[in-house]
Structures are given as structure tokens and as C-alpha cells.
């Protein structure tokens, strides 16, 4: 994909479109192809926005640019809902999701289930749970849980339903069982 100018006309409406319009991908990348393109197009600044994997890639690009003695600035901007970028206390992707008001309405004897992103960490689920004051149970990958038997999730939910008439459970997309 050839570079193109980003301006108000070219990006108009992008905020309403899911996914990416810049043809990004998860996983590996071709370091030398990227650095060659930066040099070929005469870029003197590169802004790389993303999570932990993206920032790690930005460091590799920076190192290669430095080794090639190119006069190019590379800026990595953390943006992750997992808040898993070690060089930053908080990222604007994480801040956005925490600022969103989480409302769960459960019917009588109903169980509200809220699934949140987290890949391998429960930061989002924990912050939402603590800030909402209406969550009864939060299941995160860092804590092992079991469903059945004494002290299991089902027993807890049964007790909560008898006590409150409803229950709300927050779960990370893929918690360990």
C-alpha cells in the first residue's frame, strides 16, 4: 500500500467504521521493508500508535533506523485497552474504556453477564467492577475459579439471586477455568 495524505477529507467518517482502514495486522512485520520505505518516501518522523506488541515493534524500527544512521524520529504512542505497555502508567485506550459508564440491568432472578476485553489480563474488568458498584462477581485470567461445588461460581450466584433477586457478572473474554 502506498502512503497517502491523511487530512480531514480522507479520514471523514473513519470513527464510525470498525477495524482498520490503514491495513494493519497482528503479528510479525518486515523490518527492513518498513525502514526502506521510510527512507524511500523521505519521512523524517514516524508515529506508531498501539499496544504492547506495537510498541515493541516500534523499538525495533527505531533501532534499525539508528543503525542505518537515518535522520528519522520515531515516536511510540501507547494505546491499549489492556494497559499492558510497561513504559506507561496508563494509555488513552485504557482510559477511554474505564471512563465509559457501565450499566447492567438484570431482571428479577436474572443474571447480567458483561464480557470485557483483556486478552491475558483483567485490568479492565477489575477497574470496571470497582467503579460500577453493581457487579457481584468479576472473573479474570489471573485468578483461577471453578463453577460447581462448595464455593463455586454457581453456588455464589444462587446465593446472590436469593439475596438480591439478581446478579451481575463481569468476565474477561477468555478467563481460565
The catalytic site residues sit at 82
Long-range contacts for 72-75 (Cβ within 8 Å, ≥24 apart)?
Answer: 72/38, 72/39, 72/43, 72/44, 72/45, 72/46, 73/44, 73/45, 73/46, 74/45, 74/46, 74/48, 75/45, 75/46, 75/47, 75/48
Nearest to 61 by CA among 30, 88, 40: 30
Sheet of strand 166-172, all strands in order from the earlier edge strand to the far edge: 110-116, 166-172, 137-139
Distance CA(90)–CA(21), nearest Å, equals: 25
Instruction: Return all residues near 107 (Cβ < 8 A) that are at least 6 apart.
Output: 166
Backbone angles phi, psi at 159, to 5 degrees: -60, -45
Amino acid at each position: 500500500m502506498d502512503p497517502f495524505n491523511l487530512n480531514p477529507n480522507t479520514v471523514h467518517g473513519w470513527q464510525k467504521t470498525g477495524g482498520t482502514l490503514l491495513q494493519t495486522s497482528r503479528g510479525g512485520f518486515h523490518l527492513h521493508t518498513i525502514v526502506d520505505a521510510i527512507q524511500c518516501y523521505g519521512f523524517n518522523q514516524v508515529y506508531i500508535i498501539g499496544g504492547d506488541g506495537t510498541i515493541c515493534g516500534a523499538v525495533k524500527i527505531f533501532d534499525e533506523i539508528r543503525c542505518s544512521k537515518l535522520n528519522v524520529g520515531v515516536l511510540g504512542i501507547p494505546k491499549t485497552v489492556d494497559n499492558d505497555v510497561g513504559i506507561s502508567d496508563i494509555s488513552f485506550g485504557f482510559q477511554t474504556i474505564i471512563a465509559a459508564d457501565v450499566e447492567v440491568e438484570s431482571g428479577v432472578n436474572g443474571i447480567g453477564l458483561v464480557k470485557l476485553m483483556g486478552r491475558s489480563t483483567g485490568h479492565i474488568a477489575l477497574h470496571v467492577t470497582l467503579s460500577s458498584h453493581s457487579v457481584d462477581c468479576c472473573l479474570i485470567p489471573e485468578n483461577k475459579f471453578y463453577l460447581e461445588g462448595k464455593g463455586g461460581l454457581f453456588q455464589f450466584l444462587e446465593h446472590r439471586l436469593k439475596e438480591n433477586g439478581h446478579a451481575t457478572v463481569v468476565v474477561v473474554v477468555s478467563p481460565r477455568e
